[in-house]
Structure 1
Amino acid sequence: MRNLPWKSVWITGAGKGIGAALAEALSERGCTVYISSRTPDDLEKVKQRCDKFPGLVVPIPLDITDHYQIEDMMKSWDKGAGLPELVVLNAGTHDPFPAQEFSASRCKRLLKVNLQGTINCLDPVLDRFIQTGKGHVAVMASVAGYRGLPTAAAYGAGKAALNNMCEALYLDLKGSGVKLQVINPGFVRTPLTDKNEFAMPALIEPEDAAQRIIKGLLSSRFEITFPKRFVYFLKLLRLLPNSWYLWLISHTVKTETVSTRKQDHGEQA
């Protein structure tokens, strides 16, 4: 992999999972990495793991749902070296629930982080990048935003909104000098995917995801997706008529549920 074009990077949601793995990979390549999340202890653990690497890691406790905290952080950068050249808006949460447990409050809590939290960060970031005519921002969405999936009504809706928003912003930013990309990973082993109660095909480790993200960030592609074969299959599902798609997914879920129950019964025996 060639030399990285960024000296400094800001990653949200970097206390665990993909964000933490990406911070370690970039620090190992010599970048100064500002890592933020709501959990200072997690940030400190990431920093300690990166102490052996040449790149400096700077923990910043931050709640992206609080725009005042984001504003204060931006002002500190404005007074110093300025906003990092690359911003990866990775922070997100997951709360899977079926229609029988649907509630406005659960949807609001999830969308407040995944959608509005990302928007809270995009606002000042895009403003500064557009003013200077340069900068690189990547938004973490998900293949769950491609089509509706069981227990992901709120999660998928937020990720679909991020995909739509990034497409619109990409078109608006053409010729501005600002590079915008969207990241749509498949299943990556993280504390969030650990909440899923179904078999996750093509599951990969966060360290693998981090390397694929870096490779994608270095490319000219708008959308960064992986693993390829799994994502291509999901893209094909988007082309199916609704009746076909809903039949296929509902029968697949039933099959997996029966299989899981049989496995659980065997383990108990």
Structure 2
Amino acid sequence: MQVEGARCWLVGASSGLGAALARALDRAGAEVVVSARREERLSELSAGTRMRPVTVDVTDADSVRTACDGVLAELGGLDLVVYCAGTWQVSDVGEWDQESFEQHVSTNLLGLGRCLDVTLPTLRAQGGGTVVGIASVAAYRGVPGADYYGPTKAAAVNLLEALRASLRADGVRVMSVLPGFVRSEMTDSADFPQPFKITAEDAAARILEGLARDRAVLVFPRRMRALMTGARLVPAGLWPRLTPVLRHPWARRL
């Protein structure tokens, strides 16, 4: 797609990859509205740029609907919708936390659905546009410690794949982005091994390149893609025997 001049709504822009991608889109000439819960972060991000902030709570359908109305009023339409909002915390099923599990589902999966609910009618009516969903390589296989996070990303990837086929006739493209570890407040504070970690700026540049090439699925960095592609080939019966080396908080004790 042509990023320059594109009217873009980026949801989940307050920090990390979302903020880096918003800056990259702005520099590339897109008209960007950035959204997140933290209004002060949005103000800092948009200061001195052409970006416009609109707050949103993706776990609240009314908030998402109101934010979308504001975005359409600001931009006069939509060409690109990027869903980058997400939550993550290490899980320990020995002390199952239902509240945390539901928060992951509400933010990482249902939040995506809420944004699709309010934006797809516009994209379909105009006969084109692009939806980008930021998922994770955690979607490839179930890993201890990601018992809440991984399933939501796997479901998001499945949803995006289905939409890619369902929306084809409407001229709406769908791109799934599955990054490995990306430097952010969240990952920098985590106490577990994070192989092949890249900067948020590097990740944002890769996503812009993927948009320019109309990629359907984008998985990076290359070494993480190779690792997780190989992981998918491991038989289901063997996988539980291998996953202890991947345990997030327990890896240092094994």
Query: Does the alignment reach a TM-score above 0.5?
Result: yes
Q: Does residue 158 of structure 1 match 2:152?
A: yes
Distance in 1 between the 2:72 and 2:198 partners?
38
Deviations 1:186-223 (A, max 9, x none): 00011222343211000001011100011111223211
Asked if 2 retains the 8 angstrom alpha-carbon contact of 1:217 and 1:224, the reply is no
Q: Does residue 99 of structure 1 match 2:98?
A: no
- Superposition RMSD on alpha carbons, in Å? 2.0
Q: Residue in 2 aligned with 1:220?
A: 214
Write the letter of the residue equivalent to 1:257.
R
Asked if 2 retains the 8 angstrom alpha-carbon contact of 1:111 and 1:158, the reply is yes
Structure 2: which 5+ runs fail to align?
Answer: none
Query: Which of 178, 188, 195 is the equivalent residue of 1:184?
Result: 178
Q: Does residue 117 of structure 1 match 2:111?
A: yes
Identity of aligned residues (%): 34
Asked if 1 retains the 8 angstrom alpha-carbon contact of 2:175 and 2:216, the reply is yes
Deviation at 1:243, TM superposition (A): 2.7
Write the letter of the residue equivalent to 2:103.
R
- Whichever of the two has the greater Rg, that structure is 1
Q: 1:40-59 alignment to 2 at 5 Å?
A: 40-48=39-47, 51=48, 56-59=50-53
Deviation at 1:42, TM superposition (A): 0.7
Asked if 1 retains the 8 angstrom alpha-carbon contact of 2:4 and 2:30, the reply is no
> Secondary structure at the residue paired with 2:9?
strand
Per the normalisation by structure 2, the TM-score is: 0.92
Deviations 1:165-197 (A, max 9, x none): 111111111222101111100000112223432
Cα 1:6–1:184 shift into 2, 3 Å? farther
More moved, 71-80 vs 21-30: 71-80
Structure 1: which 5+ runs fail to align?
Answer: 260-269
Asked if 1 retains the 8 angstrom alpha-carbon contact of 2:36 and 2:56, the reply is yes
Distance in 1 between the 2:38 and 2:169 partners?
38
Deviations 1:64-107 (A, max 9, x none): 11111222233345556433211101101112121112122110
Q: Residue in 2 aligned with 1:17?
A: 16
Q: Residue in 2 aligned with 1:67?
A: 61
Q: Which has the higher contact order (CA 8 A, sep 6+)?
A: 2
Deviation at 1:242, TM superposition (A): 1.6
Deviation at 1:250, TM superposition (A): 1.3
Per the normalisation by structure 1, the TM-score is: 0.88
